[in-house]
Amino acid sequence: MATTVMQAGDIDRALTRIAFEILEGNKGAENLVLLGIPSRGVPLAARLAERIAHTESLPDAKAITGSIDITMYRDDLRARPLKHPHPTEIPLSGIDDKTVVLVDDVLYSGRSVRAALDALQELGRPRTVRLAVLVDRGHRELPIRADYVGKNLPTSRDEQVKVELTPLDAEDRVVIA
């Protein structure tokens, strides 16, 4: 049985709060880049960038948004079949000497974030790297912590947390199964 723990309005409020926290921590949007970790981190990064662009009167939210493919940096490639890689898309301004915020839907073991950090090293040298997640469910296997969290959601290892986001899914919600 699945239980909905966040609905569309909850997700919107969490993203608005995270966007303001990012702006406060960075003292504005200058030298800021948001990189989504596929698949659902990409639309989350875009939504955060839209809120930041609106607040800071930036002409184009896409100028600070991109995605980072972690496929070849995962430590479970031998155990799991290779999925279709997602293209890495970096804003034209690059990431060198920027504050890069990695954006993901669920923080669990920390292994996806570690893979993103490894992939990021090949793209340039950011001034600082931060992590924003919609849901932190605990059970870390690596010493990784999110700087910005939409919802802390204690779970058992037997439970699954599924984030659904339009346009990838029919609706916006977070479900525990």
Q: How confident is the model at residue 80 (pLDDT cuts 50, 70, 90)?
A: low
The pLDDT value given to residue 61: 96
**Nearest residue to 99 (alpha-carbon basis) of 34, 160, 158, 54:** 34
How does the average pLDDT of the chain come out, rounded? 94
Mean pLDDT over residues 97-114, rounded? 97
User: Which helix H or strand E contains 12, and what residues bound it?
Assistant: helix 8-26
156-175 pLDDT, tens per residue? 999 999 999 999 999 999 99
Q: Domains in the chain, ordered, with CATH?
A: 33-161 (3.40.50.2020)
For residue 128, which phi and psi values (nearest 5 degrees)?
Answer: -155, 155
Question: How open is the CA angle 166-170-176, to the nearest 5 degrees?
Answer: 90
The pLDDT value given to residue 82: 63
* pTM of the shown model: 0.95
Mean pLDDT over residues 80-93, rounded? 80
136-159 pLDDT, tens per residue? 999 999 999 999 999 999 999 999
Q: How confident is the model at residue 84 (pLDDT cuts 50, 70, 90)?
A: low
Helices (H), ranges, 27-172? 41-56, 111-121
The pLDDT value given to residue 68: 97
Q: 3-class SS at 77?
A: coil
The pLDDT value given to residue 81: 63
4-34 pLDDT, tens per residue? 999 999 999 999 999 999 999 999 999 999 9
